[in-house]
Amino acid sequence: MTPRLLIAAASLAFAACSLDINNPNAATEETVVSSAAGLRAVAIGLQGRFGNSLAEAVWIPGLMGGELGTTNSSLSQHREFQRFPDASANTPRIEPVNSDLLNFWSRHYLVVRSADDVLQNLSKVTLSPATASAMSGLAKGMKGYALGTLAEAWQQIPVDITGTQSRYVSRTEALTTVLSLLQSAQQDLAALPSAEFNTQVLVTGLDLSNTVRLWRARFSLAAGQFQAALTEANAVPLNAASEFRYSTTDQNPLWAAFTASRYFGAIASFRTGAETGDSRVNRYTGATTLSAFGGAALNPLAIFAAGGEAFPLISQDELALIRAEAIVRGNLTGDPLTHINAVRVRAGLGIRSTTDLPNQTALLDEILKQRQYSLISTGARWADLRRFGRIVQARAAWLPYPDSERANNPNTPPDP
Amino acid sequence: MRCIFRLLTALLIAAPAAATAQLTVRGRITDETGRGIPFAQVLVADARQATSSNEEGIYRLLVAAPASPLALQYRAIGFKSRRVSLQQTSGEAIQDVRLDRDVLQLSQITVAATRVETERAQLGASLATINADQLQNAAVPQIDAALTGKIAGALVQLNSGTPGGGTSVRLRGLSTISRSAEPLYIIDGVIVDNSSNQLIDLGGYTSNRLADLDPNDIERIEVVKGAAAAALYGSRANNGVVQIFTKRGRSGALQTTLRLAVGQDAVETRLPVNRATVNAAGVSVTRYDWQDDLFQTAGTANAQLSLGGGDDKTQFFLSGGYLNQEGVVRSTDYQRANFRLNVDRELTSWLRLATTTSYSNANASLQPNGGLTTSFGVLTGFFFNSNDRNLRRDPTTGAWPAGQAFSNPLEVIANWQAPQRVSRFTGGTTLTAVPIEPLTISYRFGFDTYADQQSQFVPRGGSATALVQGLAISANLRAQLINSDVDAVYKWPALGRLQLSTSAGSNYQQQKFDGTIARAEDLALLVQTVQGSRQFASQSRDERRILGFYGQQQASWGDLLTVTAALRSDASSAFGADVRQQYFPKFGGTLDISSLKGYEEVAGKWVNRLRLRAGLGKSGEQPPGSFDRFSNYVFESSADKAGLVNSTQQGNQQLKPERARELEFGADIELLNGRLGVEVTRFDKRVSDLILPRAVTPSSGFIQQLANVGELKNTGLELLVRAFNVRRKNLTWNTSVTYATNNPEVTQVSSGGAFFIPESFNIIRVDKGQAPGHFFGTTYVRDSQGRILNAQNQPIADANGNVTSIPAIGTRKIIGDPNPGANWSLINEVTLRSSWNVRVQVDGVRDLDLFNFDRRLLETPAFGVGAAYESELTGKVPRGYFQARRSIFEEYIEDGAFTKLREVSVSYSTPASLARAIRARAATVTVSGRNLKTWTDYRGWDPEANAGGQRTLVRGFGFGTVPIPRTVQFSINLNY
């Protein structure tokens, strides 16, 4: 026996030991996107990602729009977005490396990515036409929502992310894409009811059709398409309810940030500036004072009482105020006061007449004020300031682009 | 498995015939003073038959079919080997031999660098060996901790004083950024796991799994620092290799050794606390110093019984040990039981079997002390509770006061639990066959498996507000490692002075890890296990296989020149099929100038021996996760349904091993007639293809990707001086000095540039052109004279040096570097009349910075536990001074250089008559001390401890870390 022989023998013996080992912790791309079951799982994961994207889209616009403040000066990822103390030399810069800035950006693009996974592979797997159509509606709806939310925070955004260095488009172009996605989603969802989709894919509590209608109304308003905004808002029934549900183990991140950790509070002027008798004040905030960075007095947010509480996706107040705003801004047929008063009555306030709100300016002021109280901590405030021409009240008009985006995508525009 | 046993059968083919004639050689092997050398080896030149001497140096060797003349070789650790030729071929021959001390230890036989038994004199790359006698009085239950100061070029850092706490070993600096920098450990040929499994963050004192080994079982350690490791360990060798050999039985009478030790551990220093009689509001208060309630003087007890013996065919070594150790933090302790059986058997005249088996069971009761992701615990409780608060239990209500922030440390000691348990089996079998005379083939199978259970329990209704509903965590990790190796060595017949040896082999490794973690919150009252209203569980598995082949050719020209070249090919399942096959070459050469003709006359009087050596080798390192190259779809729950999403880490099928290229030059010089030896080595290690996370355009739906994007280098010098100062029959005095420098630099990071290390409080960063993992944080604003300025750009201190205003917070900059520039040790050993032995070791590190986060907390006004904060309460500094200063991290970077009186031991071997009185053959009594005194400017409990534990780049981080205790131990060793 010679060494060479032995090595040959050893090689033969070891040839049986495969070096290709499957990963038991995860599935591979090929197996997932090429099967109906895999694609259904991605459609479920897409909704999970949508749920994960909600938190930063609330508190960053909330801080930027000046309705929220931070309590912990050492958490610079929150503090940098805060409007207080404004105009002082101590206002920190929003660093491009800010981890929440990246989370806000990337979590919405993760929604887009999972939506694209569904949309690009639907035709390659065997699904019933009804299920395929509903899954397409889900993916387009959530992609449209994610891009629309990004378009309300960054001046330009990529809407097509199939390459590694996506092209940026203007806000107008982005909103056009958003609205066409949402419109197409509505068509897909209106096609055929799919029991398979409703039981196996759609998460419980989500009224997809009406949620997509609300989104379309919201972003139509942002795009100045008032008739579409009114039509879609009107199409949502008055009893429509839709929410993203959490559980005791997969907890609502806003409950953690607002209630458990008290990282954020509502600025005190929310309580002090309210009309007497406004029931929303005590529904959404507490009376105690939180110490705050920058000297702003804050009150605790009382929106979510428990970790398992759901995040509401449809607010009848928002729908009513979209209707009112669309009518006022678009000079459309209808009485904005009906919608404003519906909100006021729900809040325990007296109704307003044309004497109280005689002109467009007064109506818009009232709409903005009602939006402020009904939609606190939903992320709406910052975009409202922009739409109502009061962006000077905000921390800044737009966010800077995350550092890792700039470092890896040469198309990234300069920071505003 | 099938593939492994197929090999076994390949080995067991055809046996040559046995022979008949017999010769018994016996005698005594002594040193130059006439003392017997224990455990010296006697070999027949072809190395097939061998024995070793007993403790008195007496040996007996049975030679079957002796050649005439018969060449015998005598070897002992620390001595120059000697050849003796015998004419007698049968009956009994008496042969006494005297061996000379070897100050350079060049005759030492090593296997770690070449797998072939090779004298150090033939190695091009440096290799360090440590023998049991250098370790036995170290008074430390973990072997890696005992290595401190013993090896030039190895930085051994004790990360925690918790019993069973971890140790980091860095051979020639860091060779990686993203994964473990610990060397590969091999015990008796079994590749063992040395992970630091932090399944629960208790504050940086996770054990590294070498802690399962009983140091009393160790015979010898070989440390391959660099290039030489390449060919044998290929893609896992970037951090160097440590081979440990345990004791084996010797033929002859049964040797029974009983070792009993008791000791005491204590914390060396107490931090000065705030004694101000008022608080910040001017209200008078009572101040407390809780350190004596948190620390205790801890007792340790250790017993080991070993039996060794056998006949000419079979030898065994059996040992059992038990260690019981209290921790210096109250309510912590550690117990370890060890069992070992090593058996050697000559199956036929051409086939030997050697097996090794060991079982260990460790149980530890620990307590949390903060950590990098949590702040609850005992020592953190000391910092996070103002010391004007009485933390003691209310004597009437029995309730514990709540912690001011996080927990009340006294309640943690009383009620919290963190039991840890490791049960481990390690075993190996080596079959060595000599089918034809110059060819040796060996097959080795190694198996290492353990279950690591880590748990934590915080009772409901405790002192920590955030955990008032209780918390129970149970985390389990099962590990299984297998290695299966074939080595063949062929020693060619000598061609004049030219000697050639060829070796080749294969090496197969498989490792599997399976981890689960279960956590419950909102526990039912009195329930201690994972049962609560909110339950979480997850599991992760990892499996990797590596298949390697190597070939090595060694050529020697007499004693003058030895050249070695080797090539290894490795394929690991962690890499994609296209890049899987990797090649790692190695070259080494040594030139013994002193063996040149005429050297003796020219320089032999001054320099007795001069050897030059050089080595160049390449090696690799694998990614942390076995499945990192895949673009995975991972679980994402969505309210009531389980979905999949693309992992935010994008796959990379082109991922390759990290590759190190190491070049070293050195010289070994023997002076003063063998009384002084100097080893000096210069190394230059460059690591490329570092696997680092690279940010991916986040708008692509991915966040990062692992890629081979980084480069770093380590350059330094290693010096070892050994001197036999006095060498008389009644008195010997040896000194050894090590000094090693290293200058690490990250030469390339990914295009995104600098990045912060996760879980480092955003203060540790990697930058191109800097040492890896430097401190980066806020600074003072200073003027051109270096004076600290306030927000109005005025100096904060007046002309007399009194602080009158509050410092401004400056920008973030590089503020320190925790990588030591140098480490050193000085060891003196004196032996008197062969009955007294005194050993003193002093060692230290230089040129490094530490981050004293503890001090920042001590002077944070919200707690103000430290004495420094008094000055604000007494008005010596303006109000708000410390609140501002705590935001300036530069302030808390301190000089981390230290010198420690590491080991002092005095042993006394009783006269035989006294030993006989207790029916023992020999008895030794030892008093030893460890970490007795620290000299440092660092203002924390201990400059050595690190809240980052064994993490590669979270170094020098002082945050609630248990200091390394001062140990005093009394032990008695009885031989029967």
Q: One-letter amino acid identity for B187?
A: I
- Tally Cβ neighbours within 10 Å of residue A414: 9
Q: Which residues contact A276 (CB under 8 A, 6 or more apart)?
A: none
Who among B534, B536, B636 is closest to A48 (CB)?
B636
Is the model's pLDDT at B853 over the cut of 90? yes
* A105:B505 CB<8 A: no
Is the model's pLDDT at A295 over the cut of 70? no
CA dihedral A140, A141, A146, A152 (to 10 degrees): 120
Quote the pLDDT of residue A236.
Answer: 96
- Tally Cβ neighbours within 10 Å of residue B281: 6
3-class SS shares of chain B: helix, strand, coil, % to 5: 10, 50, 40
Is the model's pLDDT at B640 over the cut of 90? no
**More confident position, B324 or B73:** B324
**More confident position, B16 or A118:** A118
> Could you tell me if residue A254 is left (phi over 0), alpha (psi between -120 and 50 degrees) or otherwise beta?
alpha
Is the model's pLDDT at A374 over the cut of 60? yes
- State ipTM: 0.86
Quote the pLDDT of residue B5.
Answer: 43
Q: pLDDT digits over B518-553, tens only?
A: 999 999 888 889 998 888 999 999 999 999 999 999
Confidence of residue B7 (pLDDT cuts 50, 70, 90): very low
Could you check whether the bond before residue B16 is cis, i.e. omega within 30 degrees of 0? no
Quote the pLDDT of residue B756.
Answer: 83
Determine which of A57-66, A321-330, B137-146, B586-595 has the lowest per-residue pLDDT on average. B137-146
Residue B132 CA to residue A369 CA, distance in Å, equals: 81
Q: Which residues contact B786 (CB under 8 A, 6 or more apart)?
A: none
Q: What is the mean pLDDT of residues B738-764?
A: 85
Q: What is the mean pLDDT of residues B120-137?
A: 81
Is the model's pLDDT at B508 over the cut of 90? yes
Quote the pLDDT of residue B20.
Answer: 56
Quote the pLDDT of residue B900.
Answer: 96
Residue of A nearest to B571 (CA): A19
Determine which of A12-21, B254-263, B410-419, B649-658 has the lowest per-residue pLDDT on average. A12-21
Residue A71 CA to residue A51 CA, distance in Å, equals: 25
Which residue, among A378, A383, A371, has the nearest Cα to A301 in the 3D structure? A378
**Contacts of the segment A190-194: beta carbons below 8 A, 24+ positions apart:** A191/A129, A191/A130, A191/A133, A191/A134, A191/A137, A192/A129, A192/A130, A192/A133, A192/A134, A193/A130, A194/A128, A194/A130, A194/A131, A194/A133, A194/A134
Chain B residues whose CB is inside 8 A of the A2 CB are 439
CB-count exposure of residue B876 (10 Å: 0-12, 13-18, 19+): exposed
Quote the pLDDT of residue B230.
Answer: 64
Chain B residues whose CB is inside 8 A of the A14 CB are 3, 506, 508, 547
Determine which of A82-86, A183-187, A394-398, B26-30 has the lowest per-residue pLDDT on average. A82-86
| Residue from A2, A11, A12, A21 to probe the interface with B (highest B Cβ count within 10 Å) | A21
Quote the pLDDT of residue B132.
Answer: 83
Q: Give CA angle at B645 (B710, B478), nearest 5°.
A: 70
Is the model's pLDDT at B228 over the cut of 80? no
Q: Is A158 on the interface with B (CB under 8 A)?
A: yes
**More confident position, B116 or B314:** B314
* B502:A113 CB<8 A: no
In the stretch 290-309 of chain A, residues with CB closer than 8 A to chain B read none
Q: Which one-letter DSSP state was computed for residue B442?
A: E
Quote the pLDDT of residue B404.
Answer: 86
Q: pLDDT digits over B579-614, tens only?
A: 888 899 999 999 998 888 888 887 777 888 899 999
Confidence of residue B930 (pLDDT cuts 50, 70, 90): very high
Q: pLDDT digits over A234-254, tens only?
A: 999 999 999 999 887 788 999
Computed over every residue of chain A, the mean pLDDT equals 89
| Residue from B406, B700, B749 to probe the interface with A (highest A Cβ count within 10 Å) | B700
Residue of B nearest to A311 (CA): B639
Q: Is A89 on the interface with B (CB under 8 A)?
A: no
Quote the pLDDT of residue A74.
Answer: 64
Chain B residues whose CB is inside 8 A of the A18 CB are 545, 573
Is the model's pLDDT at A311 over the cut of 90? yes
| Residue from B12, B628, B633 to probe the interface with A (highest A Cβ count within 10 Å) | B633
Who among B6, B502, B627 is closest to A23 (CB)?
B627
Sign of the CA dihedral with B385 first, then B390, B391, and B394 last: negative
What percentage of chain B carries pLDDT values higher than 70? 96
Is the model's pLDDT at B6 over the cut of 60? no
Q: Is A247 on the interface with B (CB under 8 A)?
A: yes
Quote the pLDDT of residue B17.
Answer: 40
* A21:B535 CB<8 A: no
Is the model's pLDDT at B46 over the cut of 80? no
* A203:B696 CB<8 A: no
Who among B633, B642, B701 is closest to A29 (CB)?
B633
* B3:A14 CB<8 A: yes
Contact by Cβ (8 Å): A225, A332: no
Quote the pLDDT of residue B1.
Answer: 43
Quote the pLDDT of residue B125.
Answer: 77
* B545:A17 CB<8 A: yes
- Tally Cβ neighbours within 10 Å of residue B84: 16
Who among B535, B549, B643 is closest to A42 (CB)?
B643
Quote the pLDDT of residue B37.
Answer: 87
In the stretch 165-184 of chain A, residues with CB closer than 8 A to chain B read 165-166
CA distances from B609 to B74, B372, B497, B593, B606 (A): 21, 52, 20, 8, 9
Q: Is A19 on the interface with B (CB under 8 A)?
A: yes
Chain A residues whose CB is inside 8 A of the B692 CB are none
Contact by Cβ (8 Å): B962, B379: yes
Is the model's pLDDT at B42 over the cut of 70? yes
Q: Which one-letter DSSP state was computed for residue A122?
A: G
Residue B107 CA to residue B123 CA, distance in Å, equals: 11
What percentage of chain B carries pLDDT values higher than 90? 49
Quote the pLDDT of residue A213.
Answer: 96
Number of A/B CB contacts below 8 angstroms equals 228
Confidence of residue B748 (pLDDT cuts 50, 70, 90): confident
Q: One-letter amino acid identity for B354?
A: A
Is the model's pLDDT at A228 over the cut of 50? yes
Who among A14, A249, A409 is closest to B699 (CB)?
A409
* B633:A28 CB<8 A: yes
Quote the pLDDT of residue A87.
Answer: 45
How far away is chain B from the Cα of A380, in angstroms, using its nearest Cα?
23
What is the pTM for the complete model shown?
0.88
| Residue from A44, A102, A119, A207 to probe the interface with B (highest B Cβ count within 10 Å) | A44
| Residue from A5, A19, A165, A208 to probe the interface with B (highest B Cβ count within 10 Å) | A19
Quote the pLDDT of residue B2.
Answer: 45
Residue B889 CA to residue B898 CA, distance in Å, equals: 22
Quote the pLDDT of residue B3.
Answer: 46
Computed over every residue of chain B, the mean pLDDT equals 88
Structure tokens at B711: 């480069």
Contact by Cβ (8 Å): A230, A327: yes
Chain A residues whose CB is inside 8 A of the B751 CB are 407-408
Which residue, among B563, B558, B649, B630, has the nearest Cα to B597 in the 3D structure? B558
Quote the pLDDT of residue A409.
Answer: 87
